[in-house]
Amino acid sequence: MKQITAELLTIGDEILYGQIVDTNSQWMSVELTNIGVKIVRKTSVADKEEEILTAFAEAEKRADVILITGGLGPTSDDITKPCLAKYFNCDLAIHAEALAEVTEFFKSRGRALTEMNRQQAALPTACTKITNPVGTAPGMWFEKDNKVFMSMPGVPHEMKRMIAEQVIPRLKQKYELPVIYHKIIRTIGQGESFLAEKIANWEKALPAHIKLAYLPSLGEVKLRLTCFGNSLALLEQEAEVLTEKLRNIIGSSIYAYGEEPIEVAIGKLLKENGLTLSIAESCTGGNVSHMITSVPGSSEYFQGSIVPYSYDIKMSQLGVKEETLNQYGAVSEQTIREMAVLVRQKFNTSIGIATSGIAGPGGATPDKPVGTVWIAYADGERITTKKLQLSKERHLNIQLSSMAVLNLLRLGIKELTANVQKAVN
């Protein structure tokens, strides 16, 4: 089987000037690697015809698939389309279907089409138009001597939809690709080196055709098994046997598999068990609610939340006792207990969770440095609290506290539903 190779080509002065970080090419690398396409080069060039045409020609010599992002906007500095037309020796012409789509896009937003917008529907006649379901610039698919050029907008969510829904299925159809199976095991609440030590023997015993990678991110560590072989069914089976062994070692840290972030896993747990949630978040400032409500259908289990940022609001809107605040301060076990219990009562939910801490850079006291955070969980039976000592960085403290309270919630639901199960039996 021939190794199919790809080059990622980013077009845009803003990348070269360093005005934006190119996160697109990393995302594309992962997606392409996952289907067995090997990235052989990444290139970024300016919005300049000569440089773009040279880059096309060079990439065509090196790779089978050339994935191009950027330079498709409506303004005059965006010249990827005329360059593609020149390279493929064809005209730029209004594409009827693309025009209908861009017209509909603006119509659905109650806006008329300007001439500049209309030009977004002009495409090189040699290409197959790829619909952009979330933007106005269509993608363009070219084939030449068994090679593929695919041009996409640089806007990340537009590019991602095109890659996932159009490019990957088309590449799989066009080329014979090897069988690679990835299994992602998502863990929360333990650091990378702690996990690595716990599973060292399991890792050593992995067969040669299965590789393990640690993918740590804020507050969680994903473990990725990459399995190479000939039969997808067999690889899946092997990975599942290995995962079962892993569950025996670090089962309580595993919260989901694959592309399921913690807020989705928690949504499922709440929904399956008919539980409702409310949140009182101080130091996380709305971020936990934002995470919970980023999940479609979250209104089925999420009733609402309060962000009682000041002492006044903690008392007047949530009902925290003045004595508690005066005696122990807002960042204390006593206050966090009251917050979780009160929000659960006031919002009339099965479960209440709460956060209160010093996100920084201001607000520290001698006994409560920046990064001191209390989190709590309350249901009808149990209240649990936990103290965290995080970092000096505000942004990091907000993210890490959010992940920690969601993990406390997850563990709380597990225990609550296990108790219910016991009571039933």
Chain residues 351-390 in contact with a second copy, contact rule CB under 8 A: 359-363, 389-390
Query: CA quadruple 322, 328, 334, 339: dihedral positive or negative?
Result: positive
State yes or no: residue 122 binds a second copy (CB under 8 A).
Answer: no
Strand pairing class (128-130; 220-229): unpaired
CA dihedral 102, 108, 112, 115 (to 10 degrees): -10
Instruction: Give the phi and the psi of residue 270 in degrees, each rounded to 5.
Output: -65, -45
Among 72-80, 95-103, 144-152, 414-422, the segment contacting a second copy (CB under 8 A): 72-80
Question: Which one, 2 or 109, has the nearer CB to a second copy?
Answer: 109
> By rule CB under 8 A, what count of residues binds a second copy?
99
State yes or no: residue 23 binds a second copy (CB under 8 A).
Answer: yes
Among 84-92, 114-122, 235-243, 404-412, the segment contacting a second copy (CB under 8 A): 114-122
Find the binding residues for a second copy in span 268-307 (CB under 8 A).
279, 281, 284-290, 292-294, 296-299, 302-307
How far apart are CB 264 and a second copy at their closest, in Å? 12
Options 4, 37, 45, 227; binder of a second copy; rule CB under 8 A:
45
Distance (Å, rounded) from C-alpha 133 to C-alpha 205?
45
Question: Which one, 126 or 180, has the nearer CB to a second copy?
Answer: 180
Per-residue mark of binding to a second copy, 385-424 (x: CB under 8 A): ----xxxxxxxx-x--------------------------
State yes or no: residue 181 binds a second copy (CB under 8 A).
Answer: no
Question: Which one, 114 or 231, has the nearer CB to a second copy?
Answer: 114
Question: Which one, 289 or 350, has the nearer CB to a second copy?
Answer: 289
CB 357 within 8 A of CB 397: yes
State yes or no: residue 319 binds a second copy (CB under 8 A).
Answer: no
State yes or no: residue 42 binds a second copy (CB under 8 A).
Answer: yes
Distance (Å, rounded) from C-alpha 204 to C-alpha 32?
28
Find the binding residues for a second copy in span 196-255 (CB under 8 A).
196-197, 213-216, 224, 226
CA dihedral 140, 144, 147, 151 (to 10 degrees): -20
Options 309, 315, 329, 334; binder of a second copy; rule CB under 8 A:
309
State yes or no: residue 189 binds a second copy (CB under 8 A).
Answer: no
Token code pair at residue 245: 């062994």
Distance (Å, rounded) from C-alpha 25 to C-alpha 41?
11
3-state secondary structure of 243: helix
Residue that is written with structure tokens 């933007």 in the block: 135
CA distances from 380 to 85, 170, 270, 344, 383 (A): 66, 52, 15, 9, 8
State yes or no: residue 26 binds a second copy (CB under 8 A).
Answer: yes
